[in-house]
Amino acid sequence: MKKKTVLVTGASGGIGAAIVRQLAKDGYTVLAHANRGMNMATHLAQELCATGYDVHTVQADLSDSNQVNRLCSEALTLYHGLYALVHCAGIAWTGLMPDMTDAEWDRLIGTNLSSAFYLCRALVPEMISKRSGRIVLISSIWGQTGASCEVAYSATKAGLIGFGKALAREVGPSGICVNCVAPGVIDTRMMERYTQEEKDDLAADTALQRLGTPGDVSGVCSFLLSDAASFITGQVIGVEGGFI
């Protein structure tokens, strides 16, 4: 049986890398995307390929529609279509909202939100023609609740939720499922700026009394791409341990 191909963006990050690992082990051909983190994505792909999994790296600045169109065109041609997109790429910005510059705002919006539009615009027509496909957008609990000193970041993640819910209704008649995953406090490199005491406080504020792991998120993505999730669309699935 021909393997299904999945594009995972942001594969150089902690959550993205975990998703690549999980989906490769699930038996998919995985296209692991990165931009500035290509060295990490390449190392990950080489490691997985050495143990028999099918992983390939692709590079693009997802805030640039021309680069997204090139990436998607090459992927659709070389792999004869994609079964799924798991859009995990994103950046953070922390600070007081009035201190944010136009350039910082534009970069955040382009990387976190416009990228989803560019990717789906390029990939959805082929999914519609095949009347099947899965799209998973990695949002955040801050897209649901908002976070002080992360106003712009929260806005981009809320935008992903609105985008995903609307797209699910638009493409549902073509058999395509679109869902969002909203991680809570996940212990990745992005948490390195926090002290251990601050991490302990965050864990204490979580019902399960621990921080999340990238594997907690990748497991949900694996489920959403499986046949067991064929009647789930337009949903926001929180992976936050009872934080909110």
pLDDT tens, residue by residue, 144-195 = 999 999 999 999 999 999 999 999 999 999 999 999 999 999 998 877 788 8
> Which CATH topology does 5-239 take?
Rossmann fold (3.40.50)
In the block, which residue shows the tokens 């594997």? 215
Instruction: In whole angstroms, give the CA distance from residue 176 to residue 174.
Output: 6
pLDDT at 2 over 90: no
The residue with tokens 């600045």 is 61
For residue 9, give every residue at least 6 positions away whose Cβ sits within 8 Å of its Cβ, in sequence order, or none. 16, 33, 62, 85, 86, 87, 88, 89, 115, 119
Identify the CA nearest to 93 among candidates 83, 105, 102.
105
Evaluated on CA atoms 122, 124, 130, 136, the torsion sign reads positive
Catalytic residue (choose from 28, 53, 83, 153): 153
Q: What is the pLDDT of residue 1?
A: 52
Q: Taking CA 184 as the corner, what is the angle to CA 179 and CA 189, rounded to the nearest 5 degrees? A: 110
Every domain of the chain and the residues it spans: 5-239
Separation CA 159–CA 188 (nearest Å) = 23
Q: What average pLDDT does the segment 215-222 reach? A: 98
Q: Is 83 a catalytic residue?
A: no
For residues 55-59, average pLDDT = 97
Stated pTM of the model: 0.96
Q: What is the pLDDT of residue 205?
A: 93
Q: Identify the bridge partners of residue 7 per DSSP, sorted by sequence position.
A: 31, 85
Residues near 19 by beta carbon (within 8 Å), at least 6 away in sequence: 8, 11, 86, 88, 214, 217, 218, 221
Angle at the Cα of 140 (from 119 to 223), degrees rounded to 5? 70
* Residues 165, 170, 173: CA angle, nearest 5 degrees: 120
Region 31-39 average pLDDT: 96
**With pLDDT > 70 as the criterion, what percentage of the chain qualifies?**
99
Percent of the chain with pLDDT over 90: 94
User: What tens digit of pLDDT does each residue of 103-134 get?
Assistant: 999 999 999 999 999 999 999 999 999 999 99
CA distance 79 to 52: 18
Mean pLDDT across 28-52: 97
Contact 108, 93 (CB under 8 A): yes
What is the rounded average pLDDT of the residues 230-241?
98
